[in-house]
Chain A
């Protein structure tokens, strides 16, 4: 029944044919499932953005002030890096669709490399704050105003969560490369790569909102 590759049909009373969806081999279903998963990601980050908005509304000037101490250049570079990496992720999907497996692997390697660069830059940014004594519950931070404490609390939490998503993405990319090597992904069967590309887009999309909220609210204004 389901292990046969030929599609199964049922006939209605007029004798018309209708195809039965094979639950073991349903790419549309896998993609739909992944979209639903992305909705949960949106709700997850959405709730954090809600918290951010709430405290930004309450401590506007403190937030702007604290934002001034973040490095806009490094943050901007990271935005650009992530943008380029989504481009390569998308290209690799196209390559897989056209069955250019070697090229696809190359572009995924580039994506992995760019994500690692992103994480390294992120590490230096975090360390810059931490070396100034600014990390959750530190004495320096607790001595600052309440708005600044909340800003940095949210900064570490939200960029931390985003970084975690990058790491998960890298792991899945390595897995995809393994499957490409084993020829388990082909131009016939590539729903995993498609879902990975979708995931990578949302990781980028979240950053596109994180960047202005944390880095740019002080831009061109308060010192």
Chain B
């Protein structure tokens, strides 16, 4: 049982001004990585709810042929808003900002990240970007209608508030860069003594690769967005064909960041899988090193494949072949991870708790998402499928079925660590099944619709596609209701859940060896870590440092 008298990070904190009386200020100016993580969680989930409701309104609009609830221009703004919020405000900060922030220091045996103040600044920049994006909804001609990709030359010409959206995206990118720098330095400098790189938990490996992508790829989109802003305000002509500029160059620059960015989204999610699997299989993970290195490999190869977004935009045949060829390589490290996971599960006596259910679900959905990616990058097929619902389905199967599913899994898995309480397992499983069924109903028909020629981002469609949109619409409603139900179950757990002790799942990693919720500065005594992260003996964690962390002595 956790000690009730022990002070947690909810009871005391450091702010940038030292101590502050106001309870609110103790949160929004806290430099404690755990509080910042929770700030991110609250804001991100609010935006997530807004974005799924916008998506629902799009699905209602598309439920039948013809106009239902909105005009075509509103529809264009709706899908831009949905994409921009989901990508820049939810998925990109996503798992690293919430669970990375909360867990990274705990997982490596540190008291905080290397630059706690910078960490807080990142959150404030994130908030500033978010407010900027939302403001543009209500002034002038409303939110940008370009799609979240802001392709030139349309983004240079349209009358909507593109500059706001671009500035917001730029500021959010800056926040993301600062988080990345913070994480890389933390991982290099603050690992507990004895913990070599190959003794780190795999989630940390995921965060490490992600942070490098954040550092090296985000500046490229930063400058690209600024060039569009300068193009709109001063007319320098870089993306304007009438002055010799080449809009295709914009697409290249955009995807030089944005393709690595999808790996930036998925790598921490893979890390979550690698944390949850050994816990519920009660055995060490199969192929630790290959999983760790494949994260880094995915990050590196991810840089070299951006061209596959431009197969139909105008590239030489040779370039296309090279980009397609390179893209196939991404499947190798990804498949290594998948087979390692399956090998971990093979023959294990698996405990099917809710987080494990989510992982099993994602192994199915992400496999579909990943394999359709191979379909898409096959040159001849892509000419047919490019810009259709097939791409939309592929994207959502990877990002929703991979990243967001793993975010939900992490929300359940680390719920006891965040709160010290346990949610209702039976109800949480029900929520999973609801979302899983709804998810597949929502996006699987889009594969078919896309293959038969339904283009993405269209306001209206031919009657023959109605059936797919109807099924998808029903799936959307099931998904959203289940998501709300899941959040309700977690909220109930927070309010009425039973307190569950420090390590309810019998996990082996360090974060479970401090009390739940963790105290301010995590470790009273930093432990010496000279063992591998996932070692079990007869179904119980082999190394327990709880006492050492409390008293600074071995028993």
Contacts and interface: CB of A to CB of B under 8 A. Distances in A.
B190 A21 contact: yes
B193 A51 contact: no
A147 B244 contact: yes
Contact of A51 (B110, B192, B249, B527): B249
B357 to A, nearest CB: 37
Kindly state the interface size class of chain B when it binds its partner.
35 or more
B67 interface: no
A149 B111 contact: no
Contacts of A55: 238, 244, 246
A37 B180 CA distance: 10
A127 interface: no
Contact of B188 (A30, A32, A154): A32
A29 B189 contact: yes
A146 B193 contact: no
B185 A29 contact: yes
B236 A2 contact: no
A146 B526 contact: no
Contacts of B246: 54-55, 58
Contacts of B181: 33, 36-37, 40
Interface stretch (B48-56, B223-231, B464-472, B508-516): B223-231
A153 B236 contact: yes
Question: Chain A binding site: helix, strand, loop or mixed by DSSP?
Answer: helix
Interface in B180-204: 180-182, 184-186, 188-190, 192-194
A140 interface: no
Contact of B218 (A40, A136, A153): A40
A12 B530 contact: yes
B356 to A, nearest CB: 33
A150 B190 contact: no
A208 B384 CA distance: 47
B379 interface: no
Contacts of B217: 43
Given A21-B190, A150-B237, A43 B216 contact: yes
Nearest to A42: B219
Interface stretch (B37-45, B73-81, B112-120, B121-129): B112-120
B261 to A, nearest CB: 14
Contact of A26 (B189, B223, B521, B554): B189
Nearest to A17: B193
A19 B528 CA distance: 10
Contacts, number: 138
Interface string A19-61: 1110100101110110011011101101110110011001100
B350 interface: no
Between B219, B244, B246, the greatest number of chain A beta carbons within 10 A of the residue's beta carbon is seen for B244
Given A23-B114, A150-B237, A47 B220 contact: yes
Given A23-B110, A33-B185, A146-B243, A43 B219 contact: yes
A18 B194 contact: yes
A137 B235 contact: yes
Given A39-B215, A47-B220, A47-B253, A157 B230 contact: yes
Nearest to B216: A43
B278 interface: no
A19 B193 contact: yes
Contact of A150 (B192, B243, B525): B243
Contacts of B526: 8, 10, 20
Given A20-B193, A23-B111, A153 B219 contact: no
Given A10-B525, A23-B110, A39-B215, A32 B234 contact: no
Between A1, A12, A33, A156, the greatest number of chain B beta carbons within 10 A of the residue's beta carbon is seen for A33
B244 A10 contact: no
Contacts of A47: 219-220, 223-224, 253, 256
Contact of A23 (B177, B190, B249, B253): B190
B100 interface: no
Given A12-B530, A147-B244, A33 B115 contact: yes
Contacts of A43: 216-217, 219-220
Interface string B205-226: 0000000000111111011100
Contacts of A10: 192-193, 525-528
A187 interface: no
B287 interface: no
Contacts of B111: 1-2, 23
Nearest to A15: B554
A10 B554 CA distance: 11
A29 B114 contact: yes
A11 interface: yes
B245 interface: yes
**What are the 5 tightest A-B residue pairs by CB atom distance, in nearest-first order?**
A146-B244, A153-B236, A137-B235, A18-B193, A43-B219
Given A23-B114, A32-B184, A156-B236, 19 more contacts: A10-B525, A21-B190, A23-B112, A26-B114, A28-B189, A29-B114, A29-B115, A36-B180, A36-B181, A40-B177, A47-B224, A47-B253, A48-B223, A136-B236, A137-B235, A142-B243, A147-B244, A157-B230, A157-B236
26 contacts: A1-B524, A10-B527, A10-B528, A12-B194, A13-B554, A23-B190, A26-B190, A29-B188, A29-B189, A30-B115, A32-B184, A32-B185, A36-B215, A40-B177, A40-B181, A41-B219, A44-B222, A46-B220, A51-B238, A51-B249, A51-B253, A59-B244, A137-B234, A146-B237, A147-B244, A150-B237
